[in-house]
Amino acid sequence: MNDNIRNFCIVAHIDHGKSTLADRMLQITGTVAERDIKKQTLDDMELEQERGITIKSHAIRMEHTALDKKKYILNLIDTPGHVDFTYEVSRSIAACEGAILVVDASQGIEAQTLSNLYLAMEQDLEIIPVINKIDLPAAQPEVVAQQVIDLIGCDDDDIIFTSAKTGEGIESLLEKIVQVIPPPKGSEDKPLQALIFDSMYDSFRGAVAYIKVVNGFIQKGDKIKLINTDQSLFVEEIGILKMERVKKETLKAGEVGYLITGTKTAKDIKVGDTVTLDSYKTKVSLPGYQDIKPMVFSGVFPVSTEDYEDLKDSLEKLQLNDSSLVYLPENSTALGFGFRVGYLGLLHMEIVHERLEREYDLSVINTFPSVTYKLHKQNGDIEEINNPKDLNSNDMIIKIEEPYIKAQIITLTEHIGPIMKLSLERRGIYHLTDYLDENRVVLKYDFPLSEVIFDFFDKLKSISRGYASFDYEVTDYQPADMIKLDIMLNGEKVDALAAIIHKDKAYHYGERICKKLKEIIPRQMYDVAIQAGIGSRIIARTTVKALRKNVTAKCYGGDITRKRKLLEKQKKGKKRMKQIGSVELPQEAFLALLKIDE
Amino acid sequence: MEIIENVYIHIPFCDSKCPYCDFYSITTQDNSIKNKYVSKLLEEIEQYCDIISPNIRSVYIGGGTPNSLDALSLENLLTGLLNQIHLAEGYEFTVEVNPGSVTEEKLKLFKEFGINRLSVGSQTFLKKELKTLGRTHSPQDIFRTFNTARKLGFNNINLDLIFSIPGQTINSLIYTLNKLAELDPEHISAYMLTYYEGTEFYRRSVKKDLIKIVDDIEVEYYDFVKEFLGSKGFEHYELSNFSKKNKMSNHNLNTWNFGAYIGLGTSAHSFYLDSRWFNDNNVKNYIDLKFNKYPNRSTLSLTDKKNEYIMLGLRKTSGISLENYNNFFGNTIDFDFRKKIGKYLENNYLILDESRLYLNPEKINIYNSIVSDILLD
């Protein structure tokens, strides 16, 4: 009997007000007390609150008495709002029967609105279109409404206009949820199948899985099986999610809640996996499980070599509640011991770095990010590499393949020209232009992933005056003419500065990187020759001339200790640099690769 | 037992304040303050009689402007001082003089009291550059003072030179150097202009109101000064100091050799055994308050001492005597610094021979980079 349950999510572009809308619903249903309302209640990581984006998804149960006087259970399943987390979004969506599509009344439809909407439509969810932020002076609800109607083919009347800020329209939205979204379809009588749509790490209880029971029921003490990862575990605790976890003895088909098994690490609990009973002879997995693979890799090295152990511990801790983070030890001649870290995408990479610095108080150097390339060798082997140092010219490589993405860019028509130019520079393959209305278009492109993993989005924003939005999904691998570009300082290759780059771009890139390094490397006691090369061929070079003057003219009896301290300070300044052969390289040099156009 | 054989006395009075100078001074004309100051100086030296040698090897009266004291105060100071200390045979007694304000009468007085070395704040021989530096003397004043001193029998005179003055060209530097050489002093201190924090020059350079000579040009000037003075028979014996044979400044050499010294008067620093201490920069407090012995005292660790020894020793072109280092610390410099100096010996930035460790003369211009890198952690 789950007719009174409504499971739904909210899909939206960043900053269109998803979290505020969620907060308002929690408030109006009395799920959270008035005084406990923080802005964006569902996002509890410090970083999330600060950036105003949802990184880890959560779920919460609300109770609402509808106009028909019946009590309904509304499970709001929050989804992460960024392109890097598409798979996680898709699993959250899979746990729902309906989706609220939130569009900002002043911004209109954006790239992420589309990609998330497509995910929801693939799962056959009932869509409730909501136009939010109608209180804004720049709001154009009618224009945006027309976009929405054109997009999903709904009627005028289906659209709900809200201001999450003032609370306007929220009551009608709640009523609409009850009326439109169907109750969960599963049945208590069938064998247990529960979908893990998210997980988190609790330092006291270990991994906590967020589940939706699709069929059957689960009880405390059950011996369960996670089908895809083939693990047998016991149910230590189950319950529902309100503002806190609320223990229950049983969760039945249609219900959403949490599951604690005593498993210590989040990575053992894979999002998308199916929970069933260990005792069943035939175990049927729910569709859609994927073992998610990191798409972007970079080296992470401690600034001071003595921080290596701390970095290792911190990554371990991060992985406890970020199951998508993977890392392996890496040894660089330039930077010493560190890790090769894999991320879902660029934002994920930034978040990991920021958390390392902020939550774990570490100073780290990040090397140039790389995607995973497939090397086809003469002997038929295919090797996957994500580190420039693994690309060696004498490896008998017949061809190299790189990952491609399908991207959609939404922009104003007036920016089409510059965006097409940028896309061409990034080796984009144009597919089509769709008009959302007379001013706004969707451009569809295929890109090599490597071309968008850094600074593409920033560039896009800048040439479109902040207007364009961008979203993508990784599709396939295609052959590419990639080479390894080495950077040498005084003839010595600096492994951490090497990059895998398209052949046509190598010359230009090499020149720019040499120029940038010349700006960054301070004059030293020797000339420093900076060279960029492919194999044994040098394609760009420049020199930082030796320091000519650094001498204290006067030193008498007056202030010797102060003079000594000044010299000691100069020495400390040096310590913050990386010694590479005879050259002192400031940490910014590694960052410079990422900001080469500035 | 080591004992102090070198005395510095600071006279913190000037007629006007030079905008580049970071030595402590005030511009009072009140002679009663100056008289009181002299009395307190004599009191101060008295309380350190337990650590001052009966045979003093060097005295240096600097400032400020020592000749801004009136004749009576100077006489009181010198009489009182010589009552309390005894000058050893072969002593060196230096007084700094301002060529614009020192009179023949005062020079005579210095001569009578046994002062045997003068240091003249000449700086440059071009009016325009003197004006930029805020100096009140003229090139003629330098000639006059120098010739008067010679006439009175001073046979050990230092002339101060400042170069890389804003607006200075290589030609104006050559002019000044030629004038210097004409006078033929025994000693020349040649300083690159330094913009010390807290000075007017520093503030003006930050505001770009003063255009600094760029490093690469400054280095060319410095190299030229070294070459020119070398050709005139001056030995370059310390980063900024040049002398005729046997006319090095013993007082300053003692500092660079890590010898003990006592500093008397406001802002003066002292060094003895493991301790450094110094007087505050405040004439009024110095006159009014009761003395504390060893004010602002700090103790040097063994590492601090080794670092200071290296830092000071390498300022001399002759570098550090291996034997002296060994005698001072009880182990060899090689033992203490081998790891630090290895690469510099290899590439010839530092040179180690049987008796000395010294900077390659060609690398003197980057003394700070090398020394800061070899200091012990």
> Domain for residue A142, yes or no?
yes
Residues of A in contact with B219 (CB under 8 A): 548-549
Residue A108 backbone class (left: φ over 0; alpha: ψ -120 to 50; beta: rest): left
A43 has pLDDT over 60: no
- Which residues in A lie closer than 8 A to residue B308 (C-beta atoms)? 560-561, 564
Whether chain A has a CB inside 8 Å of the CB on B217: the answer is no
What is the pLDDT at residue B2? 72
Together in a domain, B252 and B164: yes
Stronger pLDDT, A560 or A52, i.e. the higher one:
A560
| Confidence (pLDDT) at A55 | 38
User: Domain with B96 in it: what CATH number?
Assistant: 3.20.20.70
Give chain A positions within 8 Å (CB) of B23: 558
Mean pLDDT of B95-116: 98
Domain presence at residue A580: yes
pLDDT for A52 equals: 41
Take residue A480 and report the two structure tokens written for it.
């590419």
Chain B residues within an 8 Å CB radius of A572: none
Do A532 and A472 reside in the same domain of the chain?
A: no
Residue A122 tokens read as 């693939």
Please tell me whether residues B244 and B321 are part of one structural domain. no
User: Is the CB of B304 less than 8 angstroms away from the CB of A554?
Assistant: no
Q: pLDDT tens-digit profile of A111-150?
A: 888 888 888 998 899 999 999 999 999 999 999 999 999 8
Break chain A down into helix, strand, coil percent, rounded to 5.
30, 35, 35
Digit-coded pLDDT (tens) for B339-368: 999 999 999 999 999 999 999 999 999 999
**How close A512 comes to chain B (CA, Å)?**
26
Which chain B residue is nearest to residue A523, measuring alpha carbons?
B369
Pairing of β A126-132 and β A98-104: parallel
Identify whether the C-beta of residue A423 lies closer than 8 Å to the C-beta of residue A460.
Answer: no
Domain interval for residue B131: 6-256
Highest mean pLDDT among A366-380, A390-404, B144-158: B144-158
For the segment B60-83, the average pLDDT, to the nearest whole number, is: 96
Question: Residues 288 to 347 of B: which have CB under 8 A from any A CB?
Answer: 298, 300, 304, 307-308, 311-312, 315, 343
Amino acid identity for residue B239 in this structure: L
Mutate: best of B365, B369, B370, partner A, most A CBs <10 A: B369
Is residue A51 very low, low, confident or very high in pLDDT (cuts 50, 70, 90)? very low
| B238 shares its domain with B308 | no
Please tell me if residue A554 touches chain B, with a CB cutoff of 8 Å. yes
List pLDDT tens digits, range A433-463: 999 888 889 999 999 999 988 778 888 888 9
Do residues B52 and B188 share a domain? yes
Query: Do A167 and A202 lie in a common domain?
Result: no
DSSP string, A388-455: GGG--TTS-EEEEEEEEEEEEEEEEGGGHHHHHHHHHHTT-EEEEEEESSSSEEEEEEEEEHHHHSSS
- Condensed to tens digits (0 to 9), the pLDDT of residues A384-395 reads 999 998 988 767
Average pLDDT, chain B: 96
CA distance B191 to chain A (A): 6
Q: In whole angstroms, what is the distance from residue A164 CA to residue A167 CA?
A: 5
CATH number at residue A338: 3.30.70.870
CB-count exposure of residue A255 (10 Å: 0-12, 13-18, 19+): buried
The pLDDT value given to residue B194: 94
For residues A530 and A267, the model is more confident at A530
The mean per-residue pLDDT over the stretch B117-134 comes to: 97
Same domain, A212 and A175: no
Which of A480, A513, A528 corresponds to the end of one domain?
A480
Domain assignment present for B345 = yes
pLDDT band at A598 (very low <50, low <70, confident <90, very high): very low
Which of A243, A199, A237 has the alpha carbon at shortest distance from A219? A237
pLDDT at A56: 45
Together in a domain, B173 and B320:
no
The answer to whether ipTM exceeds 0.85 is yes
CB within 8 Å: B191 and A554: yes
User: What CATH number has the domain bearing residue A252?
Assistant: 2.40.30.10
- Higher pLDDT pick, A59 / B278: B278
Q: Looking at the predicted structure, is the pLDDT value of residue A236 above 60?
A: yes
CA A99 to CA A513: how far, in whole Å?
47
- The total domain count for chain A is 5
Name the more confident of A395 and A339: A339
Residue A291 lies in a domain: no
For residue B353, the domain's CATH number is 1.10.10.920
pLDDT of residue A180: 95
User: Where does chain B show beta strands of DSSP type E?
Assistant: 6-11, 56-63, 87-97, 117-123, 157-163, 187-192, 235-238, 241-243, 262-264, 269-272, 275-278, 298-299, 320-321, 350-352, 356-359
Q: What is the CATH number of the domain that holds A115?
A: 3.40.50.300
pLDDT per residue as tens digits for the range B173-222: 999 999 999 999 999 999 999 999 999 999 999 999 999 999 999 999 99
Fill in the DSSP letter of residue B61: E
More confident call, B337 vs A474: B337
The Cβ of residue A90 has, within 10 Å, a number of other Cβ atoms equal to 20
Q: What is the rounded average pLDDT for all residues in chain A?
A: 87
Q: Where are the alpha helices (DSSP H) in A123-220?
A: 141-152, 170-180
- The first and second tokens of residue A593, run together, are 């690769």
Q: Dihedral of the CA atoms B342, B347, B348, B351 (nearest 10)?
A: 10
**Whether B239 and A553 lie within 8 Å, measured CB to CB:** yes
Q: Considering the domain boundaries, does residue A286 fall inside one?
A: no
**Chain B interface mutation, best of A547, A554, A556, highest count of B Cβ atoms under 10 Å:** A556
Residues from chain B contacting residue A551 (CB–CB below 8 Å): 192, 239, 364-368
Interface list for A 469-528 with B (CB within 8 A)? 524-525
Written in H, E and C, the secondary structure of A372-406 is CEEEEECCCCEEEECCHHHCCCCCCEEEEEEEEEE
Specify whether A347 is located in the same domain as A383.
no
The DSSP code sequence of B72-86 is HHHHHHHHHHHHH--
The residue from B188, B222, B256 where one domain ends is B256
Average pLDDT over residues A189-216: 90
Say yes or no: B219 and B307 in one domain: no
Check if the beta carbon of residue A283 is closer than 8 Å to that of residue A225. Answer: yes
* Facing A551 at nearest CB: one of B239, B261, B263: B239
Residue B278, domain member (yes or no):
no
CATH number, domain with residue A586 = 3.30.70.2570
Predicted confidence at residue A294, as pLDDT, reads 87
Mean pLDDT of B131-147: 97
pLDDT at A54: 42
Q: Searching chain B, which residue's CA lies closest to the CA of residue A558? A: B269
Most confident of A139-148, A297-306, A576-585, B110-119: B110-119
SS3 assignment, position A489: strand
Is position B274 within any domain? no
Dmax over CA atoms of chain B, in Å, equals 60
With cut-offs at 50, 70 and 90, classify the pLDDT of residue A597: low
Instruction: Give the closest of A525, A560, A570 to B312, CB-based.
Output: A560
Residue in B240, B308, B366 closest to A550 by CB? B366
Beta-bridge partners for A578: A585
Residues 6+ apart with CB under 8 A from A520: A586, A588, A589, A592
- Choose among B173, B144, B143: nearest CA to B161: B173
Task: Determine the Cα–Cα distance for residues B81 and B262; give it in Å rounded to an integer.
Answer: 13
In a domain, B291, yes or no: no
Has residue B367 been placed in a domain?
Answer: yes
Q: Do A29 and A81 fall into the same domain?
A: yes
Domain end (from A423, A458, A480): A480
Residues A268 and A344 in one domain: no
CA distance B141 to chain A (A): 25
pLDDT at A34 over 80: no
Residue B272 forms part of a structural domain = no
The whole-number pLDDT of residue B73 equals 95
> Are A470 and A493 in a shared domain?
no
Inform me whether the pLDDT recorded for B47 exceeds 50. yes
CB contact under 8 A, A561 and B191: no
Residue of A nearest to B365 (CA): A549
Instruction: Tell which A residues from 147 to 206 touch B, by Cβ distance under 8 Å.
Output: none
- Token pair 């249609």: residue: A254
Whether B157 is covered by a domain: the verdict is: yes
Enumerate helices (H) and strands (E) in chain A, giving the number of each: 14, 33
Whether A148 is in a domain gets the answer yes
Quick check: is A88 in a domain? yes
Burial class, B33, CB count within 10 angstroms (exposed 0-12 / middle 13-18 / buried 19+): middle
- Identify the band that residue A175 occupies on the pLDDT scale cut at 50, 70 and 90: very high
pLDDT of residue A88: 81
Q: Which of A180, A204, A232 is the last residue of a domain?
A: A180
CATH of the domain at A476: 3.30.70.240
Kindly tell me if the per-residue pLDDT of B335 is higher than 80.
Answer: yes
Token pair belonging to A585: 């390289």
Tell me if A64 is assigned to some domain.
yes
Q: Which of B255, B251, B294 is nearest to B275 (CA)?
A: B294
Residue B281 lies in a domain: no
- Same domain, yes or no, for A378 and A460? yes
Of B222, B238, B256, the residue that ends a domain is B256
**Which pLDDT band, with edges at 50, 70 and 90, does A567 fall under?**
very high
Helix (H, G, I), strand (E, B), or coil: what is residue A202? Answer: strand
Q: How far apart are CA A525 and CA A514, in angstroms?
A: 19
Whether residues A356 and A434 fall in one domain: no
Do residue A75 and residue A204 come from a single domain?
A: no
pLDDT at B19: 96
Region of residue B267 (phi > 0: left; psi between -120 and 50: alpha; otherwise: beta) = left
Mean pLDDT within A100-119: 88
CA atoms within 13 A of residue A123's CA, in its CB half-sphere = 25
Which of chain B's residues have a Cβ under 8 Å away from the Cβ of A525?
Answer: 349, 363, 366, 369-370
A215-219, A354-358, B95-99: the lowest-pLDDT one: A354-358
Q: Is residue A43 part of a domain?
A: yes
Q: Which residues contact B164 (CB under 8 A, 6 or more apart)?
A: B192, B193, B212, B213, B217, B218, B221, B222
| Largest Cα span, chain A | 94
Q: Which of A548, A554, A560 sits opposite B194 (nearest CB)?
A: A554
Peptide bond into B64 cis (omega under 30): yes
Residue A35 pLDDT level (bands cut at 50, 70, 90): low
Question: What's the rounded Cα separation, in Å, for the pair B317 and B362?
Answer: 11
Assess whether B114 and B206 both reside in one domain.
yes
Q: Can you give the residue range of the structural domain that contains A449?
A: 374-480
pLDDT in tens, A260-318: 998 877 777 888 999 999 999 888 999 888 877 888 999 999 988 889 999 999 998 88
Closest by alpha carbon to B98, among B203, B21, B165, B36?
A: B21
* DSSP string covering A494-559: -GGG-EEEEHHHHHHHHHHHHHHHHHHSPP-SS-EEEEEEETTEEEEEEEEPPP---------GGG
Q: How far is CA B48 from CA B41, B272, B291, B292, B316, in A?
A: 11, 11, 11, 11, 30
The mean pLDDT value for A371-393 works out to 90
What is the mean predicted confidence (pLDDT) over B319-332? Answer: 96
Contacts of A132 (CB under 8 A, 6+ apart): A12, A16, A17, A21, A102, A103, A104, A105, A162, A163, A164
Interface touch A564/B307, C-beta < 8 Å: yes
Residue at a domain's end among B256, B272, B294: B256
A394 touches chain B (CB under 8 A): no
Whether residue B181 sits in one domain with residue B61: yes
Tell me the DSSP string of A275-334: EEETT-SS--PPTT-------EEEEEEESSGGGHHHHHHHHHHHHHH-TT-EEEEEEETT
Report DSSP letters for A112-140, one per residue: HHHHHHHHHHHTTPEEEEEEE-TTSTT--
Q: How many domains would you assign to chain B? A: 2
Q: How many whole angstroms separate alpha carbon A343 and alpha carbon A497?
A: 19
Is B373 in Cβ contact with A571 (below 8 Å)? yes
Give dist(CA A375, CA A401) in Å, integer. Answer: 7
pLDDT at position A288 is 83
Q: How many CB pairs under 8 A join A and B?
A: 99
Q: Does B239 touch chain A (CB under 8 A)?
A: yes
Residues A546 and A573 in one domain: yes
Residues 6+ apart with CB under 8 A from B248: B187, B235, B237, B241
B239 with A555: Cβ contact below 8 A: yes
Q: Do B240 and A548 touch (CB under 8 A)?
A: no
pLDDT, position A347: 77
A460 and A539 belong to one structural domain: no
Tell me the shortest Cα–Cα distance from A496 to chain B, in angstroms. 25
Give the span between the Cα atoms of A547 and B44, in whole angstroms. Answer: 46
